Chain A
Amino acid sequence: MIAPLYLRAVGLAAPGLPGWSAGRAVLAGAQPWAEQEEAPYAPQLLPPNERRRAPPGVRQAFRAGEDARAGCTLDFSALAAVFASSDSDLTVMDRINTALAEPVRAVSPTDFHNSVHNAAGGYWSIATACRQPSTAVGGHDGSLAMGLLEAAALVHGDGYGVLLVAFDGLPPPLLRPVRPMACAGSIALVLHAEPAGAALARLDLSLTDAPETALEDPALERLRRGNPALRGLPLLRAVARGEAAQLVLPHAPGCNLAVAVEPVG
C-alpha cells in the first residue's frame, strides 16, 4: 500500500498545450486542440550565464517547472525535486558523438557538463537556490511512472514535498530513427502528503500488470505516444475535467503504474 499523494500544482508544455492554464481547457474539452509550434523558451529563473548555456532539454524541463511555479503560491525552494526523462538532451549527445568521431575529438566543455542526465536538476537548483535533494531518473517510455514512484518515496518515505518534472526534447534528425519521438514535451507536478487547502486531486498509486491507458482523441493520443513525458496526459486530462479516473501509466515490462485520480474539495 502506498499512501495517497495530493497534487498541489501542475505545469505543462506540449504542442497545442502551451501551459497548464491553456492546456487545461483543451484537456477538459472546452477548447479544441490545434497544432501549434512551440516558440523557443528562455527560462525566466536562471541567471544570465546559465540561461545562455542551458540546452533545449533543460529549457523544456524549465518550461513546465516554471509554469507550475507561476500557477501557485508554494515555496519551491523547500521542495525536493525529481527530474524524469528518457534521454535528457540528445542534441548535446549528438554534438559530442559527432565531435568524437572526428580526428581531433574536440568536445566542448559546456556540452560535456550539459550532457549529464541531471543537467535540468542542476540548473533548477541554481535557478531556485534550492539545496533540497534532487534526483534524475530515466526509464525510456516509462520515465514518468518511474519519476512518480520516486516522488511517492520522497513524500512518504522521507517526508518531503516534491516537484516532479518529466521532460524530453525532440531528438536530432540522425537519432530520430533509433529513438523515435514526435515532439518535445514536459509536465510538472507538485506533490504533497497532505491536501493543505488547495489540492487539485488525490492520487493513489499501485503497481499493476494492466496495459497503459490510451486517449480517445487521436490528436492527443499522438502527443501521448510522441513523448515519454506526455504519457502523463491521461492523468492531466482527468485533473482538468475534475473527474475521478482509473488509469495506467507505462513503467516496466510486466509492471505498470496504476493511478486512481480523485477530485478534492
Chain B
Amino acid sequence: MTPLPVSHYTVTTASGRGKAALLGALRDGATGLRRGSFEDGALECWFGEVAQLEQPLPAEHAAWDCRLNRLLFEALRQDGFMEAVGALRRRYGAARIGLFVGTSTSGVRQAERAYQCRDRAAQRLPDWFDYRHSQSIHVPGEFARLLLGLGGPYQTISTACSSSAKVFAAAARAIRAGICDAAVVGGVDSLCLTTLYGFNSLQLVSAEICRPADARRSGISIGEAGGFAILDPQAADAGLVLLGYGESADAHHMSTPDPEGRGAAAAMRQALARAGLEPPAVDYINLHGTGTMANDLSEDRAVSAVFGEAVPCSSTKGWTGHTLGAAGMVEAAIALLCIEHGLVPRSLNTRERDPQLRAAVAMETRAARVARVLSNSFGFGGSNCSLLFGARR
C-alpha cells in the first residue's frame, strides 16, 4: 500500500495526559499502575487509572456525561489535537473526513451504576440513565464526531482488545475506497466493573502488577486510556507513516488464543506484505503482551515464526495496564513515540524472562535508531490486528 501519513497523534493513559507524559514514563521506567480499588468495595488489584476525571462535562455536553466521555473529552484536548483537526476540516471539508473510534465496553460503567440504584420492586432504571449517550457501543464515535465538528461517515469498532488497532486498517481502506479523503482514528475505554470482574471470573486478573513475558506472570492489570491520530494522505511534511496492517480471525475459541498463534502470525505477515517489507526491516515489535500465560506464549510462537528470534520486542502494558479497546491506539502511539525519539522500551516489571519464550524480549530500555515498528493487538473472539508504522523516508 502507499504509506499513509500520520500527521498528528495524542494519547492519555494512567501515565498522564498527552504524549510527553507517556514518553517521559517510558524513558524513566515509571509505571502508571497502582494497587487499590478503583471504587469503594471493588476488587483490590493493580490498575491504571487516568487521574482527575471527577469533573462533569461542560453543560453543553451534559447529556453525554459519563466516565468514558470525560476521558474521551480529556484525551482530545491534549497535544493541540482539536486544533489539528480544525485545520484538517478547513482543508478537506467536514463531510469528507471519516472518523473511526475503537472501544470495547463504551460507557457500560454508567449502566452498572444505574443497575446498582434501580428500583428493584418496580423493575425500573433511574431516570438519569441515558443509554443512547452512555452505554450504547456507538457513543465514543458519535461524541467524538460532535466534539471534532466532523460531518462525514463514522465507525465505532468494537472487537474487544483489537478494536482501536483496527481503526487504522478501516480508515486506510475507506480512504482507498473513496468513502472519505482523510481520517481521524482513535480508541477509548474507561475502567468499569464488567471487565474487572469479568476477567477475574476467567482468573486472568493478576494479584501482582502485570509482568508480561515473566516466567511467573499471572495475568493482566486493567487500565483505561484514550488516544487519537490523524491520517492525512496529503500531509507532505508528516514524518510518520502507516506502512501496513494485517487482520485475521483465529477461528479457534472465544476467549483463549490459538496456542500456535496461526491467526496472529497471519496478521503480522499481512502487515509486512502490505508494506512490501521483509521481517528484518522491523526494528522493534510492540507486543500485545497482556501478561497472561496463554497470550504471551501463543504470541511468542507467532512472533518467532514470522520474525525469528532477533527482532527486539516488548509489551508496554507494565506502564499503562491493558487498556482493552484503547490498547491498539495507545500502543500505536507508543510505536510512533519510539520512532520519533529512537527508543526501544523494556518489558517493564519483567524480572525473570520466561525460558519458554523464543523471541528477543527487551529487558533494558535503550536508545536506538528505530525506523519501523510493528504493533500487535489481539482480542476475544480471536480478533487479531497488526499495524506497521515507520519514519517517512
Chain A: residues with CB nearer than 8 A to chain B? Answer: 1-3, 50, 53, 81, 85-88, 93, 96-101, 105-109, 111-119, 121-123, 125-126, 128-140, 142-143, 146, 149-150, 152-158, 173-175, 177-179, 207, 251-255, 257
Contacts and interface: CB of A to CB of B under 8 A. Distances in A.
A251 B153 contact: yes
Interface string B104-126: 10101001101110100001110
The 7 closest A-B pairs by CB, nearest first: A122-B381, A157-B173, A138-B137, A112-B198, A117-B158, A133-B247, A125-B249
Contacts of A179: 131-132, 136
Contact of B197 (A107, A113, A150, A152): A107
A134 B155 contact: no
B62 interface: no
A91 to B, nearest CB: 13
A131 B153 contact: no
B129 A114 contact: no
Given A97-B112, A122-B380, A130-B249, A138 B158 contact: yes
A121 B159 contact: yes
A137 B380 contact: no
A3 B179 CA distance: 10
A255 B158 contact: no
A86 B250 CA distance: 24
B366 interface: no
B252 A137 contact: no
Interface string B172-207: 111111110000000000000110011111100000
Interface in B365-383: 379-383
Interface in B81-121: 95, 104, 106, 108, 111-112, 114-116, 118
B248 A119 contact: no
A252 B153 contact: yes
B201 A109 contact: yes
B204 to A, nearest CB: 10
Given A109-B201, A133-B247, 20 more contacts: A3-B177, A87-B136, A97-B111, A97-B112, A100-B115, A101-B118, A105-B197, A112-B198, A116-B380, A122-B380, A123-B254, A125-B251, A125-B382, A132-B248, A133-B249, A152-B177, A153-B179, A158-B176, A174-B118, A174-B123
Contacts of A96: 194, 198
A202 to B, nearest CB: 16
Nearest to A119: B381
Contact of B158 (A93, A101, A137): A137
Contacts of A114: 254
A93 B111 contact: yes
A86 B136 contact: yes
Contact of A125 (B112, B151, B381): B381
A113 B123 contact: no
Given A125-B249, A137-B156, A178-B131, A131 B263 contact: yes
A118 B377 CA distance: 15
24 contacts: A2-B178, A86-B138, A97-B108, A97-B111, A97-B114, A99-B197, A101-B112, A109-B198, A109-B201, A113-B255, A118-B158, A122-B254, A122-B383, A125-B250, A128-B251, A131-B263, A131-B266, A134-B247, A137-B155, A137-B156, A138-B156, A149-B153, A157-B177, A174-B125
Contacts of B247: 133-135
Contacts of B176: 153, 156-158
Contacts of A178: 125, 129-132
A131 B262 contact: yes
A139 B173 contact: no
Contacts of A174: 118, 123-125
A99 to B, nearest CB: 8
B251 A140 contact: no
Contacts of B159: 116-118, 121, 134-136
B247 to A, nearest CB: 4
Contact of B249 (A97, A132, A158): A132
Contacts of B200: 107
A37 B95 CA distance: 42
A261 B182 CA distance: 27
Interface in B129-143: 129-132, 135-138, 141-142
B393 interface: no
Contact of A113 (B115, B262, B380): B380
Interface in B149-167: 151-160, 166
Nearest to B116: A101
Contacts of A122: 249, 254, 380-383
Contacts of B118: 101, 174
From A88, A109, A129, A142, residue with most partner B Cβ within 10 Å: A109
Nearest to B383: A118
A71 B269 CA distance: 34
A174 B379 CA distance: 29
Contact of A139 (B155, B169, B381, B383): B155
A148 to B, nearest CB: 10
Contacts of B95: 207, 255
Contact of A157 (B153, B172, B201): B172
Nearest to B151: A254
B382 A107 contact: no
Interface centre among A2, A131, A155 (most CB of B within 10 A): A131
A149 B254 contact: no
Nearest to B173: A157
Nearest to A83: B159
